[in-house]
Structure 1
Amino acid sequence: MGEDVPAQEFTRADRTRHREKVRRNLDVFAKMLREARFDTDDPMTGLEVELNLVDERGDPALKNAEALEAIADAAFQTELGQFNIEINVPPAKLREGGLTTFEEGLRRSLNDAEARSATVGAHLVMIGILPTLADGHLRPDSISANPRYRLLSEQVLHARGEDIAISIRGPERLVTTAESILPEAACTSTQLHLQTSPDSFAAYWNASQAIAGAQVAVSANAPYLLGKELWRETRIPLFEQATDTRSEELKAQGVRPRVWFGERWITSVFDLFEENVRYFPALLPIVGDEDPMVVYKAGGIPSLAELRLHNGTVYRWNRPIYDIAGGVPHLRVENRLLAAGPTVVDIMANAAFYFGLVRTIADDDRPLWSQLSFHAAEDNFHTAARDGIDAQLFWPGVGQVPATELVLRRLLPMAREGLAGWGVEASVADRLLGVIEGRCLTGVTGATWFTGRMHRRADMDRYDALRATLLEYREAMHTNEPVHTWD
């Protein structure tokens, strides 16, 4: 959820000062893109995974503070809901065995964390939406203790002027309201980070947008919310609605949502930051003392704190990141559209598919986005979220095609080529991309496995069936066998 901020109230003057300061940040950022040296020589990749906490029965365990104290590892952090935590895996270079390093480190950390958190009655589950969540778990008193979360929730509701409305239609329909942004906490994701140069950022971001539908189709893992079977990746519409600051009237006027796919291909990373400032009022108008222009002219690296904090409250599915490491600025694409789980090997297969495919597409002499309309890419994304691995996607040169056919015939070879370009060993690429291939051949993802099990339990009470299926899921999760092999 981003940087910690203290509890506070904001005045109209605060918002005016913040607008002026964030625009000054933007001016300095533009100057840095023209003049500064960014860290680009040996790109790093990163990985974050959001986790759910459950008790022995499979119900949500509102114990993240106790779990984090028991885990006692700085890599694990709090998240919005008391039933959430997050792990930040140390960054790595793909050419130096990064995928294997991620996999081994994540398994080791999660196994250790599970053993420790179990002592306080909280077990870890990697799934896009915890299916046993009920209305009572999504009330304001379930927000984590960090003041940032309550402040952000208050600001979203204040901007909206009314309760948040959730309406999702799948095989079943859910219509409900919320008096906080806590439904967002139901969305637990895997976030992939890819460092890139200013010159190549636009190509990598455009490529990430173009393949979003294919990514979601083969990784869907969030079919249930509040007892209802909805989209195969219900996280997508839920997240879009749970942090929507727009009233119905503002939606009708075409005001852009804060959870946003975007509306056009870009030519520079500056396009995204500039849009974020131009289109979205500040939710957290906090102003620091640093004058970024003074720092930059003196030879320093400005933090651009206001711009970064504001950027963190605009939830693009592929988000631009400006950061500083070792005194050197760098840029990253943060790919935020994948669900957590089902297993570590499934997560790493999703990562290999993304890192490989995005490189091949970004490096192509004839850009994919010159052949694919942005509207078609967005349609693919939402179609895949709704239908999962059964989705029909549009692709240049072939038209509408089953997602499985598209991935098997076109995208997996491209992903394998891209991983070779990153310097990933062929055996590692074959093993991880083989997991994606297996899902396509069997038609099984986390979402289809879970709904299949639930349909066999159709004669049970719905929440009893969800608990039983989740406990079965959790047991299989610990085997680290890919989900398409669970049956």
Structure 2
Amino acid sequence: MGEEVDRVEFTRADRTAFRDQVHRNLDAFARMLREARFDAERPMTGIEIELNLVDENCDPAFKNAEVLSAIEDDAFQTELGQFNVEINVPPGQIDGDGLQTMEQSIRASLNAAEEKAQRTGSSMVVVGILPTLMTDHIRREALSTNPRYALLNDQIFQARGEDVQISIDGVERLQVTADSIVPEAACTSTQFHLQVTPEAFPRYWNAAQAISGVQLAVGANSPFLFGKELMRETRIELFEQAADTRTHELKTQGVRPRVWFGERWITSIFDLFEENSRYYPALLPVTSEEDPIAVLDRGDTPELAELRLHNGTIYRWNRPVYDVVREKPHLRVENRVLPAGPTVVDTMANGAFYFGLVRALADDERPIWSQMSFSAAEENFHVAARQGIDAEVFWPGVGTVRATELVLRRLLPLASRGLDGWGVAPAVRDRLLGIIEQRCLTHRNGASWQADEFHRLYTKGSHGRRDALRGMLSRYRDHMHANTPVHEWPVD
């Protein structure tokens, strides 16, 4: 959820000071870009995976503080809801067996954490939206106890001036009113981080935007919300609505949302941070004592705390990240498109597909973004969120085509070439991309499996709707812990 804060109230002077400091941060950042002050070592990747906690009935377990105390592992942290935790995977190399090593590390961490969580009467589930989460679970008291979440809640609702109206049309229709940001906690995602140089950043960000729709099509895993079957990746629409600070009138005026796809291809990472400053008022206007220009003048690296804090309250699906590690600044593309799950091996397959494809497209002499309008990429994104594995998307030179066909014919070979460019071991490459291939051939991903299994239990069995969701999630959890790729999961 971004940088920590310890303030609970803000004045007009605080907001003015924060805006001024963000602009000073931007000046320092521009100078750093000109002076090439960034870490340019071998590219690193990191992964964040948000998890849900459930009880013995597969209903939400509001025990993240208790679970984290039992786990005693700094890699696991709180998230927005008391039924959420997050695992932060240490940065690692992509090349060689790096992705396989990362998979083994994540699996080992989750196994150890699950064993300890069970002592609290809880179990972990890696899924985009917890299917058994209901409207009676989204009360304000469900927020995690970290003061940051209550503060963020209050600031968003102060900006809105009214309750959140969530309206989603899918297989079924949902309309819900909420007086807190707890519905946002329903959105659990996987975030892939890729360190790149300042020169390469715009190519990688543009490539990530271009493939976001295809990522969703093959990786969708959020078909249910509050007991309703909605979109195949309902998480996209839910997050866009739940974190929206705009009133109806501001939406009508075309004011940009805080969760957004973007509006144009970029030529510099500076474009994105400058947009943050130009379009978005501060939610958490906490200023530091740092003078970033003075820090640069003495040859040190500024933290740019205000720039980073502000960036953390603007939820781009592909977000720019400035960070400092061991006094060295670096830049990352944070890919926030995909839901969590269904398994660790599926997550790593999604990662391999993403890392390989963005590398191939970023290296292409004729960039995909020079052949494709930004609006087409955004349309692909929302179509894929709605239709998942059955989505039809636009691709230059092909036209409108089934996403699965596009992946099989065009994108898997590109991803394979990109992984070769990273130096990924062929056996690791083939195993992980083979999972994506099989999803496309079987037309089975997490969302389609959940829907099929739910309908089997609900329409062909003796289960009521809520019990069918519990039964489906219980089977999902078993397959998840077995780490069997979702395309192999049976619908009994």
- Pick the TM interval, shorter chain: over 0.9
Tell me the secondary structure at the aligned position of residue 341 of structure 1. Answer: coil
Give matches, 1:1-400, under 5 Å. Answer: 1-400=1-400
Instruction: Specify the code of the residue in structure 2 equivalent to 1:339.
Output: P
CA–CA distance in structure 2, aligned partners of residues 79 and 243 of structure 1:
15
Amino acid corresponding to residue 57 of structure 1 in structure 2: N
The residue type paired with residue 160 of structure 1 is: R
Q: Write the letter of the residue equivalent to 2:480.
A: M
> What's the counterpart of residue 436 of structure 1?
436
Q: CA deviation at 1:97?
A: 2.3
Q: Once the two structures are superposed, what CA deviation does each residue of 1:233-252 show, in whole Å capped at 9, x if it has no partner?
A: 00000000000000000000
How far did residue 479 of structure 1 move? 1.0
Aligned to 1:485: 488
- Tell me the distance in 1 between the aligned counterparts of 2:4 and 2:15: 19
Q: What is the alpha-carbon distance in structure 2 between the residues aligned to residue 107 and residue 7 of structure 1? A: 37
* More off after superposition, 237-246 vs 459-468: 459-468
Partner Cα distance (1:481, 1:37) in 2: 44
User: How far is the alpha carbon of 1:458 from its aligned partner?
Assistant: 2.4
CA distance in 2, matches of 1:400, 1:45: 32
- Supply the AA of the counterpart residue of 2:250: L
* Counterpart-to-counterpart distance in 2, 1:66 and 1:419: 40
Moved more, 458-467 or 374-383: 458-467
Structure 1 residue 7 displacement after superposition:
4.1
The answer (yes or no) to whether the contact 2:3–2:308 under 8 Å persists in 1 is no
One-letter amino acid of the counterpart of residue 183, structure 1: P
Look up the equivalent residue of 1:236 and give its one-letter code: I
What is the TM-score when the length of structure 1 is the normalising length? 0.99
Partner residue in 2 for 1:410: 410
Q: Within 2, Cα distance between the matches of 1:477 and 1:310?
A: 36
Return the TM-score normalized by structure 2. 0.98
Q: How many residues are matched?
A: 487
Q: Aligned with 1:85: secondary structure?
A: strand
Deviation at 1:457, TM superposition (A): 2.0
CA distance in 2, matches of 1:117, 1:3: 26
What is the SS of the residue equivalent to 2:338? strand
User: Matches of 1:272 and 1:153 in 2, distance apart?
Assistant: 25
2: CA distance between counterparts of 1:171 and 1:41?
Answer: 47
Indicate if the aligned counterparts of 1:46 and 1:92 stay in contact, CA closer than 8 A: yes
Q: Is the 8 A contact 2:457 2:471 kept in 1?
A: no
Q: Give yes or no for contact 1:195–1:332 (8 Å, CA) kept in 2.
A: yes
Query: 2:96 touches 2:425 (CA, 8 Å); kept in 1?
Result: no
Q: CA deviation digits over 1:36-77, x for unaligned, max 9?
A: 421112111110100000001100000000000000000000
Pairwise CA distance, 1:2: 1.4
Give the Cα–Cα distance (whole angstroms) in 2 for the partners of residues 213 and 357 of structure 1: 13
Separation in 2, partners of 1:240, 1:359: 28
SS of residue paired to 2:337: strand
For residues 187 and 121 of structure 2, the distance between their equivalents in structure 1, rounded to whole angstroms, comes to 22
What is the CA distance between 1:296 and its match in structure 2?
A: 0.8
In 2, Cα distance between equivalents of 1:437 and 1:87:
27
Root-mean-square deviation (CA, aligned residues, Å) is: 0.7
2-side partners of 1:111 and 1:417: how far apart? 33
For 2:435 and 2:418, locate their aligned partners in 1 and report how far apart those are by CA, in whole Å: 17
Q: Secondary structure at the residue paired with 1:245? A: coil
Question: 1:461 is matched with which residue?
Answer: 464
Deviation at 1:96, TM superposition (A): 4.2
- Structure 2 distance, partners of 1:57, 1:255, is 43
Query: d(CA) in 1 for partners of 2:127 and 2:8?
Result: 34
| SS, match of residue 457 in structure 1 | helix
8 Å contact kept, 2:28–2:292: yes
Separation of aligned partners in 2, 1:287 and 1:106: 36
- More deviation in 63-72 or 96-105? 96-105
Cα contact 1:221–1:232 (8 A) shared by 2 = yes
Deviations 1:133-171, CA, capped at 9 Å, x for gaps: 011211110000001111001101100110011000001
1:3 Cα deviation from its structure 2 partner: 1.9
Deviations 1:205-238 (CA, angstroms, capped at 9, x unpaired)? 0000000000000000000000000000000000
> Does the aligned pair in 1 maintain the 2:454–2:468 contact within 8 Å?
yes
Residue number among 476, 481, 485 corresponding to 1:473 in the alignment: 476
* Counterpart residue identity of residue 6, structure 2: P
Question: Which amino acid in 2 is paired with 1:468?
Answer: G
CA shift digits 1:338-379 (9 cap, x unpaired) = 010111100000000000000000000001000000000000
State the SS of the aligned residue for 2:193: strand
Mapped to 1, the partners of 2:373 and 2:138 lie a distance apart of: 38
Question: Which whole-Å CA distance do the structure 1 matches of 2:109 and 2:436 have between them?
Answer: 24
Q: Secondary structure at the match of 1:429?
A: helix
User: Equivalent residue for 1:425?
Assistant: 425
**CA distance in 2 between partners of 1:23 and 1:96 (Å):** 41
2-structure distance, mates of 1:348, 1:42: 20
Deviation at 1:5, TM superposition (A): 1.2
> Residue 95 of structure 1: SS of its match in structure 2?
coil
CA distance in 1, matches of 2:170, 2:306: 39
The 2-side partners of 1:97 and 1:448 are apart by 31
Measure, in 2, the Cα distance between the counterparts of 1:33 and 1:125: 41
Amino acid at match of 2:417: E
- Please list the CA deviations of residues 281-311 of structure 1 after superposition, one character each: whole Å capped at 9, or x if unmatched: 0000001111111111111100000000000
Contact 2:7 2:286 (8 Å CA) reproduced:
no
Find the aligned partners of 1:88 and 1:478 in 2 and give their Cα distance: 19
Matched AA of 1:143: L
- Alpha carbons 1:4, 1:146 under 8 Å: kept: no
